[in-house]
Structure 1
């Protein structure tokens, strides 16, 4: 799927497969060619046209999905054919779960098909229940009780399930995109989840019962170098923001980022800016270039001694830095599992789709942070932001959140270490590939 939230975990999983002597080729649409970087010479990158080389900004969400399916699948098929007579013919296709039609390509060429789920197992189980009619949308009768999950209020479900008009675009198409992941599960050979057993124990067990010998947790898909213990998790970095972090005390900085897609309104960015400033904490805030005009006038001049605003940073490098004591996040699954894997407490400000459910788990299940509350206009006000940051960063509560976060970090590392649960699952997956002919 041509989105950074799909590309990054797929790339990191590919790196793990390569360490186990599996030949890996990653197929990336030309429109996203600049989004992928790998220093691993054993991973082959193949580019194919998805019909969006012109950017496709003027197209609707529905037309983009249709064109991607039509043009992308045709060119991926050509890519497979080109490899069939090579030294390394393709044996298995691992595809983003929101593209179930790729399983049809796998079947056409007699290949193994593995669906890779880039959201949490908990969230995907909710989509499954909607697809099968166990849960109707829009959801109006909370609390919701589903197998393997805690009791959920309406605002804790994926956002597309509580929209007032279920036929409204693009919400209807997004909902179908997510629930249709389960449209051909009987034909799919494997379900790969970017999680680990201890993190989502009950719902993973539920999934295994649904699809015996198909479901495996292979996460967290975080490069192993960041999971290692020690004073520095990675090679020295001379980026200005890392040099700035190097001057800060341990646990003294709030890292703020809302991912590569979320677009906050100008009012919300203004409240966020004021709330961060009022907390009087040091902070590093990622505001994409196209969003920076929404910042309050002279904000960057006013905070020059307390904070740093950048248009991009290496999130793993920042989360692994000893100076970072808290992550103010939208709670996208990649960001959430990265913070958990690196032992960083969170302030959750979910925006849409799966993020509300992830935030529920951050606060109530994993107990590594808190959720900021919306006002009656759907905005998190400056006072709430200030209070949430202080709540996570100060006093005895800070020690509690950090202790819990470090526990999850240790469990994440244990899962991917040799012989750990995710490592064993990946070995079983590879063994299945070896038996296939």
Structure 2
């Protein structure tokens, strides 16, 4: 279908207000825009996206009830945040979407694309007669596991004690019991997570399609399983970030950006350890000290991103006593860092966006997962794709011996060379999937665009609103 046929058609996006969810949704918007669609973004007051970097999108802000800073639903407690947003956003979201659809001067709305965690949008979609497609911002491997979480609970996997944490999950090799997202949670939190997962999977099954930021050459077995289990079209169109690079308007961090890239420029190829644990995971001060001392003792230069809160104050204090070859910053342009020739390893929390970016740039990983599906991602990185080394928390957190062993395995042992070769192979696959005319993700993007137009024409007749 030619792009000119999509002109005059709007796609409405609704991201969950967390950085790891907002960025891939906006990247997807860039992809759809480059394929002829107009893009509307409805977002919450909480963690509003930076509209200045996407001037070709139309943004609408809705109330979310999170203006009170003491509200218990925060980014540090997603099990409270997601249910709260699903309740508080229903009425303002539906009212905003009705206005968007009813705008006489606006273009017809072809479909709604929502984060998989916003399950309440299923009812809104039905009432407004707008096709609803789901974006799952994690990987296919973790979503496949989520579809079976109730079954695994019924088999007793979520009630095990410490001695059995290393046991395999026979239904999902090579996962272990300790990799289950809820295994370290309290009983009440396990119930909350299970309900969240059930709602997410159920409404995905009842959607008009599922989009994943992945590619066939990386996760084909998991994608095949999902296609057998879910009665909806599945579009694997990643890596998103390779398909769009929106301008960065963060002028406040421009100095840090220039400083850390200039610092990288001074180092030998594949010599630097890049350390970043994402935007939510918290690190104890004692763990910071262990990390800093081990990095310093490794003799490797390191670039360390510490979030602009208590972490960065701790890191700065520790750094002042190191006098080594390190660069500690509040923020870094991760894509530029990972693609820099001096970076030889990525110490990561294994969030899916970071996982995809590390693979796409061919950087071996040191894996320290923290929560949710990060343990699943780490298991696949280390034991399935074999492009990283596992660095688990001990009973007392991160331990010096484990850190030193992980660094040595990547940089000094033959295993590290083998990991690097496998990672280069995956990097090549990530590039090939985007090749025009024959790449799996390239073709899936065209298939998604055709699907959206078909939905508009045969499903709801575009924009008719029911009471």
Q: Do both proteins adopt the same fold according to a TM-score greater than 0.5, normalized to the shorter chain?
A: yes
Deviations 1:226-281 (A, max 9, x none): 7xxxxxxxxxx962111111111111110001000001222222221222122111
- Who is 1:345 aligned against? 364
**Pair 1:192-2:211 in alignment:** yes
Is the 8 Å Cα contact of residues 279 and 387 (structure 1) preserved in structure 2? no
Q: TM-score, normalised by structure 1?
A: 0.89
The alignment partner of 2:369 has SS state of coil
- Residue 198 of structure 1 aligns to a residue whose secondary structure is helix
Partner of 1:156: 179
C-alpha distance 111-322 of structure 1, shift in aligned 2 (>3 A) = same
2:96 maps to 79
Counterpart residue number, 1:2: 17
- Report SS of the residue matched to 2:158: coil
| 1:311-390 matches, cutoff 5 A | 311-375=330-394, 377-390=395-408
Q: Over aligned residue pairs, what C-alpha RMSD do you find? A: 2.5
Do the aligned partners of residues 213 and 138 (structure 1) sit closer, same or farther apart at CA in structure 2, a change above 3 Å counting? closer
Report the alpha carbon displacement of residue 64 of structure 1 after superposing the two structures with TM: 4.0
* C-alpha distance in 1 between matches for 2:451 and 2:316: 58
- Name the CA distance, whole Å, in 2 between partners of 1:121 and 1:302: 43
CA contact (8 A) 2:27 2:244 kept: no
SS in 1 for 2:148: helix
Report the alpha carbon displacement of residue 433 of structure 1 after superposing the two structures with TM: 1.5
**8 Å contact 1:139–1:154 — kept in the other structure?**
no
CA contact (8 A) 2:174 2:379 kept: no
TM-score, L = length of structure 2: 0.83
Secondary structure at 2:309 match in 1: helix
| Alignment equivalent of 1:254, drawn from 257, 273, 280 | 273
Given candidates 265, 285, 296, the residue that maps to 2:304 is 285
Aligned positions of 1:17-416 closer than 5 A? 17-33=32-48, 35-36=49-50, 39-59=53-73, 61=77, 64-86=81-103, 87-131=106-150, 136-140=156-160, 142-146=167-171, 149-158=172-181, 160=182, 162-163=183-184, 165-167=186-188, 169=189, 171-224=190-243, 239-292=258-311, 295=314, 298-375=317-394, 377-416=395-434
1:230 aligned partner: none
List gaps (5 residues or longer) in structure 1. Answer: 227-236
Q: Say which is worse superposed, 114-123 or 268-277, in terms of deviation.
A: 268-277
Distance verdict in 2 for CA 1:191–1:297, change over 3 Å: closer
Q: Check the 8 A contact 1:362/1:368 in 2, yes or no.
A: yes
Deviation at 1:38, TM superposition (A): 5.5
Q: In 2 relative to 1, CA 44–414 (structure 1 residues): closer, same or farther, beyond 3 Å?
A: farther
Judge which range, 44-53 or 132-141, deviates more.
132-141
Alignment deviations for residues 260-309 of structure 1 (CA, whole Å, 9 cap, x no partner): 00012222222212221221110000111213367378421233441011
Distance 1:172 1:273 in 2: 37
SS in 2 for 1:295: helix
Partner Cα distance (1:18, 1:400) in 2: 40
Deviation, 1:422, is: 1.6
Please list every run of 5 or more consecutive structure 2 residues that lacks an aligned counterpart in the other structure: 1-15, 246-255, 462-467
8 A contact 2:134–2:204 mirrored in 1: no
Deviation at 1:151, TM superposition (A): 2.9
- In the alignment, the residues of structure 2 paired with residue 318 and residue 306 of structure 1 have an alpha-carbon distance, to the nearest angstrom, of 17
- Provide closer, same or farther for how the CA distance between residues 313 and 101 of structure 1 changes in structure 2, counting only shifts above 3 A: same
Q: For residues 297 and 244 of structure 1, what CA distance do their matches in structure 2 show? A: 17
Deviation at 1:330, TM superposition (A): 0.8
The alpha-carbon distance between structure 1 residues 45 and 268, as it changes in their structure 2 partners (threshold 3 A), is same
8 Å Cα contact 1:263-1:291 kept in structure 2: no
